[in-house]
Amino acid sequence: MTRTIISIILFVISALLAKCSIRHFLGRGYLLNNAYIFAPKTERESMNKKPYYRQSAVVFLLMSAVFIVLGLAVLFEDTKLELIELPLIAGAVIYAVISEVKIEKKSK
């Protein structure tokens, strides 16, 4: 019973992350990106938000996949499924760093 509740919570988190990802791919909603959030207000107004929306969308999509795999691992009590999470998390971090460097190069 507890496994089922925990996996439902993980699937709900995954669905919320997927919804954020879709909205960011469409360029809608508040931009949840550190480069935008911590930029001065004057810079935000002139900033090209499209690459930041895309970056956030891809990271949210990868995190959604992580929570799906985690939910399945909890539901089926399969520790081998948990090994799939590591490359997804590493991929999200690596993508975020590389895409930030590319965005900064283009903006200069």
DSSP type of residue 77: T
DSSP for 14-33? HHHHHHHHHHHHTT-S----
Q: Tens of pLDDT along 45-76?
A: 888 899 999 999 999 999 999 999 999 999 99
Q: Is the pLDDT of residue 108 over 70?
A: no
Q: Is the pLDDT of residue 22 over 90?
A: yes
pLDDT score recorded for residue 16: 97
Q: What is the three-state SS of 36-65?
A: HHCCCHHHHHHCCCHHHHHHHHHHHHHHHH
pLDDT score recorded for residue 90: 94
The domain segmentation of the chain, as residue ranges, is 1-107
Name the residue among 76, 57, 59, 94 with its Cα closest to residue 10. Answer: 76
pLDDT score recorded for residue 57: 96
**Mean pLDDT across the stretch 71-83?**
89
pTM: 0.88
Q: Tens of pLDDT along 31-42?
A: 999 888 898 999
Contact in structure between 60 and 20 (CB atoms under 8 Å):
yes
* CA-CA-CA-CA torsion sign (52, 54, 56, 59): negative
